[in-house]
Amino acid sequence: MPKKVQKKVRHNVWQNKLITMSLLVLLVTGLSTSSFFLNDYLTKTINKNKHSSAQFDFALRQDNLAVLRLSLSESQQYSQQWLVLATTLAKTQGDVAYQLAIYYQEDSSQALFWYKSAIRLNYHKASIALARHYFQQNKLNNATETLAALPVTLSQKLNTEANILKVNIAINRGDVSKVKLIINEHAQQLQKTIAGRLLLADINKYQLLIDNNKDPESGSLKLSCDNSIQLFATNLNHLKHLEGIIKYFEAQVLNQAVCFSSVRYMAINGLDCSNEQEKAIRCNELNWQPWASSIDTRYVGIMLPKGGANVHLGILYFDAQDSVDVIAHEVSHLLGFVDEYPLTAEHVKCRASQKISFSQNISVLKKTYLGDKNTVRIKVLKQIAWAKHIKKSTPILQPVTSLNDEKRWELGTPMRYKDDVGLFNAQTCDNSIDSLKEKFSAFKPVLKTTKLQYFSLDFPKLYSTLIEENSMQYLMPSFHYNIALAYFQQSTLQQNSFQKTSVEQANYWLEQSAKWERDAKRIKKVRQGAF
């Protein structure tokens, strides 16, 4: 071995021996290592990467920050060793506490603990992450309070992130004035980042800041189909989700029967809805009045955070968890289809047998008839929308015991004609006490189960044909009719001049709805408020 190398090895050996002896002296005398600045010495040595293995091991046993951070960086992320080291460091190091919060994302209580630990250690990135965590859980007050606690002086990057989150919180709350305020104050800053530019583009795309009292822009797309629908949502995530649903809707049978306008934002605080998870969404439909002049579609729909999907006249309600199959089912109601599963006991369509045909797929008729078979058949066929599709060879009346020598018939197509179009029992009015008393029932054109009973199934080809043939006859009135009805309902609670004003407004909105009709009978029906 060369002499220079021998000297260097001997020097290192003696250096390690001296350090070890010094450490032993410290341990024997019971003096704190900090008294001799040993911790600082070890930190500097480790940071310069000039430490020996003995120094490293000793520093590790003493929880020296430098060696702990070095060990953490060299450990496999989220391994058991990493977790032990991170837990030790996180007591004093905000960035590591933040990393632990990320690690525990699936455990909300642990994530909150470490986010708050990082915040106490003045790691401001954790404040924004915690606010985002609250935002994703729809805890908007918590998110706002967390952001409010941030210092005024932040890096430009963090400040932009905080402002983007503040805008999203305001959007979810329906606080459009707050959105305007933040954007006007920080527009230039937002334009400098990709996230900021995307946010501003979304705000423009979904018309968040457009005055709803103005008429649609002259250059806006005019929808060519009769059954045009404008869908709204109350936050950016749901608006993007709506666009996906419309895209998936292209694969639905009903796609050819409807057309969608570009989705738009609606402030949730202006809706006044009751939307419990398991109950049908109900809203004060007077609140659609300010929007009406900026909507150029026959129907409207609103996606809410929760609540049961349903159609009320010209308005479609559903929540963010509803699939495209559920929405297709509900859209079919706008086109004149009725549910084939049991409706509520008091449903208006199941209180008596129908006077005239009212839907594409359901007729509510008496179960038994007296008289000549052909005469009865002709009478019954006039009551159903699908009559022309029932072959002459397909029976719809079955003989039962005669009464006073007069022939008696029971309505229905036998099972052996299950593949034909006929009159088959539907479950629609099964819950109706009146149907049992008065002996009427609901009938449908096909025996097989359809999407009108189970969302995941298909619409029969016949149903698509019926939409083409009866394109306007069974449609729901336009959403303007809903506003008129809300005014009529309001008038029943008022007196004198207020009542008169509400009735005048109701009649005005009936006229707006009548403009969407082409058939004289339907125009008259709308004007009379007879839906």
Q: Do the domain assignments include residue 473?
A: no
Burial (CB count within 10 angstroms: exposed 0-12, middle 13-18, buried 19+), residue 95? middle
Alpha-carbon distance 321 to 315, whole Å?
18
Tokens at 30, concatenated: 């019971």
- 110 lies in the same domain as 195: yes
Q: Do the domain assignments include residue 268?
A: yes
Q: Do the domain assignments include residue 10?
A: no
- 435 lies in the same domain as 501: no
Decide which of 284, 302, 334 is a domain's last residue: 334
Q: Do the domain assignments include residue 181?
A: yes
Phi, then psi, of 271 in degrees rounded to 5: -95, -35
Q: Do the domain assignments include residue 165?
A: yes
Helix (H, G, I), strand (E, B) or coil at 143: helix
Q: Do the domain assignments include residue 121?
A: yes
* Segments of the chain scoring below 70 in pLDDT: 1-68, 211-224, 403
Q: Dump pLDDT digits (tens) for 48-70.
A: 565 556 555 555 565 666 666 77
Q: Are 384 and 443 in contact (CB under 8 A)?
A: yes
Segments forming the whole domain that contains residue 518 = 480-527
- 279 lies in the same domain as 327: yes
Q: Do the domain assignments include residue 457?
A: no
**CATH code where residue 189 lies:** 1.25.40
Can you give the pLDDT at residue 126? 96
Can you give the pLDDT at residue 24? 43
- 306 lies in the same domain as 378: no
Tokens at 359, concatenated: 């839907």
- 290 lies in the same domain as 383: no
Q: How far is CA 325 from CA 48, 94, 258, 451, 453, in A?
A: 63, 47, 15, 8, 12
Alpha-carbon distance 517 to 160, whole Å?
50
- 77 lies in the same domain as 198: yes
- 179 lies in the same domain as 266: no
- 158 lies in the same domain as 96: yes
Domain tally, the chain: 4
Contacts 24+ apart (CB under 8 A), 123-128: 123/94, 123/95, 123/97, 123/98, 124/150, 124/151, 124/154, 124/158, 125/95, 125/98, 125/158, 126/94, 126/97, 126/98, 126/101, 128/158, 128/161, 128/162, 128/165
- 239 lies in the same domain as 316: yes
Q: Do the domain assignments include residue 437?
A: yes
Burial (CB count within 10 angstroms: exposed 0-12, middle 13-18, buried 19+), residue 146? buried
Q: What are the helix and strand counts (H, E) for the chain?
A: 21, 14
Q: How far is CA 35 from CA 26, 38, 43, 63, in A?
A: 10, 8, 15, 16
Length of the chain: 531
Beta-carbon contacts of 318 under 8 Å, excluding residues fewer than 6 positions away, are 281, 301, 302, 303, 304, 307, 309, 310, 326, 327, 330
- 135 lies in the same domain as 272: no
- 290 lies in the same domain as 254: yes
- 275 lies in the same domain as 378: no
Decide which of 334, 356, 376 is a domain's last residue: 334
Decide which of 434, 450, 466 is a domain's last residue: 450
